[in-house]
């Protein structure tokens, strides 16, 4: 798998966080759109990235998530990681319910970044 830049890695992380509970709530979609508008102020085609994510089987999510957590770590400052964690937390809370899987993956992100 090719290394991703911080913004693309963040997209993968958020998409997996939104999918691990097997429901993609409209509120989560709005949060991801918010991230995209902030990270990609110019129009960007993410169809290839979405195809990669959509082709993953649930048992592949953890490895993919960890890979992109490392990519994000490599390209970010501590402040950017802290901001991303807060944003990711708002994503998993967007539908007013945090599943065990969402909590597990969010904790995995924090542990991977040692924070």
Higher per-residue pLDDT: 51 or 23: 51
- Does 29 have pLDDT greater than 80? yes
User: In the chain, how long is the greatest CA-to-CA distance?
Assistant: 35
pLDDT at 24: 81
pLDDT at 8: 95
pLDDT at 60: 96
**Domain range summary for the chain, segments of one domain joined by +:** 6-112
pLDDT range class, residue 25, cuts 50, 70, 90: confident
Determine the average pLDDT of the residues in 34-52: 89
Residue among 85, 72, 78, 82 nearest 9 (CA): 72
Residue among 10, 1, 2 nearest 69 (CA): 10
Average pLDDT value for the chain: 93
pLDDT at 23: 84
For 6-112, give the CATH class. mainly alpha
Residue among 83, 48, 49, 61 nearest 17 (CA): 61
Convert the pLDDT of each residue in 67-88 to its tens digit.
999 999 999 999 999 999 999 9
């Amino acid at each position: 798998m090719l290394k991703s830049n911080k913004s693309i890695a963040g997209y993968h992380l958020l998409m997996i966080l939104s999918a691990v509970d097997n429901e993609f709530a409209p509120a989560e979609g709005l949060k991801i759109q918010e991230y995209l508008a902030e990270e990609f102020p110019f129009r960007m085609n993410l169809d290839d990235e979405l195809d990669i994510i959509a082709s993953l089987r649930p048992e592949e999510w953890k490895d993919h998530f960890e890979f992109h957590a490392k990519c994000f770590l490599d390209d970010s400052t501590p402040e950017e990681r802290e901001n991303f964690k807060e944003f990711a937390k708002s994503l998993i809370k967007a539908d007013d319910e945090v599943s065990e899987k969402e909590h597990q993956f969010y904790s995995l992100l924090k542990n991977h970044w040692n924070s």
